[in-house]
Chain A
Amino acid sequence: MSSMSSGRIVGRSTGDRIILVLVIALALIMMAPIAWIIALSLKDNKELMTDMNSVFHAPYTINNYVNILATSSVFRWILNSVIVSGGLTIMTLVLSSLAGYGFARLSFPFRNTLFVIVLLGLAVPEQAVLIARHQLFSWLKFHNTYHGLILPGLAAPFGVFLMTQYFRAIPKELDEAALLDNASRFKIFWKVLLPLTIPAQATLGIFTFLSSWNDYFWPLISGTKKEMYTLTIGIASTQTNFAQSEGLGFLMSQAVFAGAPILILYLFFQKYIVTAVSGAAVR
């Protein structure tokens, strides 16, 4: 409602039109690289080798995509990514909700000190703990397992921070009434408060899933066997040798195939994704 710019008050002026044309032109330039790889993915590999300009005219083919179905490991990688990102998201939601309720509503010794320590954890960059984690997981023989890929994400304090804030914003009268009815703490959490936190669950869930799906560093050093690659690592492993341009179309079709699920999800859940990502940045 309040987002009217000064230009809108006086109606659509020439200045507005020029700005609109400029942002549309820039958006087209921004999308050009994506259009380029989609076009490449629809071309025959041999034809590309002889003449790159053939991208701009027929014949196009879906053979590269058919080849993915037949030969590529992409499906295994997608499965791995779904298991890792899905598992991490569910566990993060459970742990953060429990802890958020605990920090926001219950009192126990050292509560405030513990909460401050968790908040300080927000400032620790991944690189400051990676090497020690890697060593720890080597001893535990966790590398190249699903739990090895999932567990490090559970330590991230962002979810606890977000859920604690959210629980604090819920009026206390709600649970106090239930408390006087002798409801157990867990029942209050589960029946009274948790249903109210669904918007925060959506934000946290989307943010966790997306960052885990796109994570590049930990899976690179932990899931080093080809059958344990996540999609992000798997696609990276295919791009080492494309300078020869053999199978260029095929490589591009893999990239399109790998990027499409997230872009499609984005189309449907755009609002939530934008809120989740920008909310997480500001904390």
Chain B
Amino acid sequence: MAEATLSGSASAAKAATRQAVQNVNAPLWRHAVFVAPYLFFFVTLLVVPLFWSMWLSLHKADAFGVGRFVGIDNYLRLFRDKIFIQSVGNTFYFVFLTVPALALIGLLLALALNRKTKSAAALRAVYFSSSVLSVTIVTLIWRIVFIGNFGLLATVYGWFGATAPAFLSDPKLTMIGIAIATVWWCIGLPMMLFLSALQQVPREIYEAAALDNASRWRTLWHITLPSIRRTFVLVIIIEIVLQFQLFGQARLMTQGGPNNVSKPIVLYIYEAAFTKWDLGLGAAASEILFILIMIAAMAQYFISRRRGEEG
């Protein structure tokens, strides 16, 4: 109804309307009441804790309170701690194992399932389904797959009289085991991101290619892949940020062991802060993680902004 009356009025009236609206729309403090409730939580539970954590990282602090100022001592302790350095290396190794796998498998699945058939829709649903499970259930499932003697893997290997690789206890394999479980858990997101990118490729280009009798491979190589290049980079960065925060899988599948070979940075932070109650050290480690993630997030910002300019 409102639209009908509006379109009925003449354009001169519309200009007057603008003026009237501008008068009512002057900046007013009382308009801020709409954003105030959210900002209250944003400031008290995000902004203050963010700076509080930075401040903590420069102090000696435990469960009973904040002690004296120690400068960059906590950071020096971190860099001297072999286990921390190892956990940084482990995290990079994990990112290296999971991110390319997630991007490539996600892309292949998206290419295979980008069609309007019922079977493709059902398969998309299956591949995404593991993403809705919690980390607890995912790790429970994969421990039962990997565990010696009675795991699914051991049972299948047993049929052929072979011994299954010990993904939960062999120091060379634990990170790979965690990576397999993670790829299984997270594959839905990259697949969906690639699918939505594929659907945005203009159909006319494909029709032109079909008229030229271009082969499937040529179409894929020269049309499809170049059109989703930016999405590929975006997926890589999103996954780097996500996988950098590895925690639950490592804590629940291997407790970071054996001998810390599968301990990621976040598990180190958790143990420093909440089992040893060395809050200053934990805060310092979390600032380092923050810097690493910021670098990746900034890359994402610049790439998605460039993409926005194009579209």
Contacts and interface: CB of A to CB of B under 8 A. Distances in A.
Interface of A: 1-10, 15, 19-20, 22-24, 27, 30-34, 36-37, 40, 48, 52-53, 55, 94-96, 98-99, 101-103, 106-109, 111, 114, 117-118, 121, 123-136, 151-152, 154-157, 160, 173-174, 176-180, 185, 189, 210, 213-214, 216-217, 221, 231-233, 235-236, 239, 242-243, 245, 248, 251-252, 255, 258-259, 262-263, 265-266, 270, 273-274, 277-278, 281-282
B160 interface: no
Contacts of B2: 173-174, 177-178
17 contacts: A2-B203, A6-B219, A7-B216, A23-B113, A23-B123, A33-B141, A33-B152, A98-B35, A109-B32, A111-B27, A121-B46, A131-B279, A134-B274, A154-B38, A157-B42, A180-B17, A239-B139
Interface string B31-73: 1111101110110111111101100100000000000000000
Q: Is the interface of A mostly helix, strand, loop or mixed?
A: helix
B247 interface: yes
A262 B133 contact: yes
Contacts of B214: 6
Given A33-B152, A114-B39, A273-B132, A101 B34 contact: yes
B286 A127 contact: yes
Given A217-B248, A282-B234, 15 more contacts: A3-B114, A6-B206, A19-B112, A95-B38, A107-B31, A111-B27, A124-B46, A127-B290, A130-B49, A136-B49, A214-B133, A217-B247, A262-B132, A274-B192, A278-B189
Given A2-B203, A3-B115, A124 B50 contact: yes
A119 B111 CA distance: 33
Contact of B134 (A96, A232, A273): A232
A133 B49 contact: yes
B216 A15 contact: yes
A154 B210 contact: no
A117 B35 CA distance: 13
B274 A22 contact: no
B293 interface: yes
A177 B286 contact: no
B150 interface: yes
Contact of B34 (A53, A99, A278): A99
B297 interface: yes
B216 A6 contact: yes
A259 B123 contact: no
Given A123-B294, A263-B129, A281 B53 contact: no
A59 to B, nearest CB: 18
Contact of A263 (B119, B133, B216): B133
Interface stretch (B80-88, B96-104, B193-201): B193-201
Contacts of B192: 274, 277-278
A9 B200 CA distance: 17
A154 to B, nearest CB: 4
Contacts of A102: 31-35
B184 A30 contact: yes
Nearest to A28: B126
A23 B115 CA distance: 13
A132 B199 contact: no
B126 A27 contact: yes
Given A2-B199, A2-B203, A118-B42, A34 B141 contact: yes
Given A3-B114, A278-B193, A255 B45 contact: no
A108 B274 CA distance: 42
Interface in B121-153: 123, 125-137, 139-145, 147, 149-150, 152
Nearest to A56: B155
A129 B132 contact: no
Contacts of A6: 206, 209-210, 214, 216, 219-220, 224
A42 to B, nearest CB: 14
Contact of A125 (B141, B196, B293): B293
B238 A127 contact: no
B112 A23 contact: yes
A80 to B, nearest CB: 14
B266 interface: yes
A219 to B, nearest CB: 11
Contacts of B294: 123
B282 interface: yes
